[in-house]
Amino acid sequence: MHSVNEALKYLGSNPLILSIIGYFCKKLNKTFMLSVSNLSVQFGKRILFDEVNTQFVQGNCYGIIGANGAGKSTFLKIMAGKQDPTSGHVHLEPGKRMSVLEQDHNACDAFTVLETVVRGNKDLYALKAQIDALYADYTDENAEKIGELQVAFEEMNGWNADSDAAALLSSLGIKEDFHYTLMSDLDGKQKVRVLLAQALFGAPDVLIMDEPTNDLDYETIAWLEHFLANYDKCVIVVSHDRHFLDAVCTHISDIDFGKINHFSGNYTFWYESSQLAARQRAQQNKKSEEKKKELQEFIMRFSANVAKSKQATSRKKMLEKLNIDEIKPSSRRYPAIIFDREREAGDQILNIEGLSAEQDGELLFSGLDLNLSKGDKVVIYSKDSRASTAFYEIINNNIKAASGTFSWGVTTAQSYLPLDNSPFFDKDYSLVDWLRQWAKTEEEKEEVHLRGFLGKMLFSGDEALKTCKVLSGGEKVRCMLSRMMMIRANVVMLDEPTNHLDLESITAFNNSLKNFKGTVLLTTHDHEFAQTVGNRVVELTPKGLIDRYMTFDDYMSDKKIKELRQSMYAV
């Protein structure tokens, strides 16, 4: 396909040329749904994209990755026609339909749930509206026109539109009772599911989604992973959920230095192979034949591991495309997140008896009896996120429990990353002065020492002197991680730690916790984080807790536990 890239680069967006290229692509069984030619985006002096030429092919799912600010969401908006590039063109193959996951959750408030979903196929919905309008003003003159439109409507499977939309909604957990409810009457999480159904409705040829797993529960994400992994059209997605990217992607599209490069494989393959390539680049003495053999062996090991996984069938198309020539070192910078302990804790970590929590008169969890031991890495889970946050706030003495007691082991030292970190940044300190608040010795208070911690979290040079009040959400979390590393606790508590972080920070954070020798209490919507860090799952419910020593995946897939969970949440 290199010749196609060159053609797009030098011939621009000439429709005739694009049609010719499309013809030959089809001959090669490479039907490109969407192509980008000479695309550039510039904001003032900042160049986001520079002469980008690329194609998105039928049957592939592309995960768009890039550092925060690289332009992932901007690129999707341009693909969707919601933002104009500075120069260049986007070409959708004639006769093909594109669908975009709606980001404005209130955009369809005036419509019913079912109508909102059907509106996802704009051509079908417009045709239905035209037929309805003619029927409303029925005359002998427009009867023939109605007949013609109905033939087209039938060809689009229009008569089954409502039942297809209803089936999609039910699959996403929106019960039939809500199908004729106005969107304005739904809560935020219900709206997200309806808008997801809208994007998927009618099997669009090109599906564009920006962070589709946000605000979805575990079961809905699992359903979406299965749906997309077996979808035979073209999918372009931005997500910080590595498990999701691994489950659905055949290609990773890396935005770097103003360009977009496609790499065969899912996110884990891209990450591990690019790390291997970077190590090889540093090995000047190793022969090229040895490096090539090492890469081939890596692909074989990776393919074997995927083939054993539960989703092997859906990932088969990804494995067929893995190519040694595409493996390149990445320019990504990963923060150096290393959790050390000042001392090792004893056997007794945390003892909880009869703990309960309420909020606005509503019971969040009750009758919590729990004993933590050294080395436990516990995923604290609940269908109600308020319950897990209340749990952390109670055991950190920030709020009082409705009932019950807890006591920490005398050898423990705790460090806590709360869901809301804003109280930590209410003073107008520089980052160096901000971090100095948690220094324990005179040596730790030295600016050189503090800059070292900040540098590990990618705050280098003058960035370490900027005020903490102007930080982005991701920068604040990285500061909080610097603070936690400085405290050197033997128990760390993390309430949604991946919020606001980019994939590089999430990956480094995840790897650090896997290697941490202390005790971890963790609540996260990041499936990969939960699965690879936790060795125990504790679920908080209004009727008590469920406590199992097992991985997160085993816990969520266990049939007996599923039945127990249903009974614990039943009203």
Residue with tokens 């911690």: 453
pLDDT for res 354: 96
pLDDT for res 378: 98
pLDDT for res 13: 47
pLDDT for res 5: 47
Asked whether the beta carbons of 279 and 292 are under 8 A apart, the reply is no
User: What are the CA-CA distances from residue 296 to residues 221, 299, 464, 520 (Å)?
Assistant: 33, 5, 42, 37
Q: pLDDT under 50 in the chain at which residues?
A: 1-5, 7-13, 17-18, 20-21, 23-29, 312-314
pLDDT for res 2: 45
Question: Within 10 A of 539 (CB to CB), how many other CB atoms are there?
Answer: 24
Asked whether the beta carbons of 345 and 369 are under 8 A apart, the reply is no
User: What are the CA-CA distances from residue 126 to residues 97, 100, 103, 129, 363 (Å)?
Assistant: 14, 17, 22, 5, 47
What pLDDT digit, counting tens, does each position of 476-494 carry? 999 999 999 999 999 999 9
Asked whether the beta carbons of 514 and 495 are under 8 A apart, the reply is no
Reading across the β-sheet that carries 362-373, which strands appear in turn?
A: 362-373, 348-359, 403-408
d(CA 473, CA 310): 35
DSSP helix, strand, coil percent of the chain (3-state; round to 5): 45, 20, 30
d(CA 267, CA 274): 10
* Amino acid identity, position 363: L
DSSP characters over 365-427: EEEEEEEEETT-EEEEE-SSHHHHHHHHHHHTTSS--SEEEEEE-TT--EEEE-S--GGGG-S
What pLDDT digit, counting tens, does each position of 183-210 carry? 999 998 899 999 999 999 999 999 999 9
pLDDT for res 175: 93
Instruction: Look at residues 340, 454, 423, 424 and name the one whose alpha carbon lies nearest to residue 446.
Output: 454
Residue with tokens 């903490």: 468
SS3 for 162?
Answer: helix
The conformation of residue 517, written as its DSSP 8-state character, comes to -
Count CA atoms within 13 Å of residue 454 on its CB side.
Answer: 26
* Amino acid identity, position 508: A
pLDDT for res 137: 83
pLDDT for res 314: 46
Asked whether the beta carbons of 329 and 278 are under 8 A apart, the reply is yes
d(CA 124, CA 144): 19
Chain-centre distance of CA 311, in angstroms?
Answer: 18
pLDDT for res 308: 62
SS3 for 184?
Answer: helix
SS3 for 155?
Answer: helix
Asked whether the beta carbons of 469 and 511 are under 8 A apart, the reply is no
193 Cβ contact partners less than 8 Å away, ≥ 6 residues apart: 169, 172, 173, 174, 216, 220
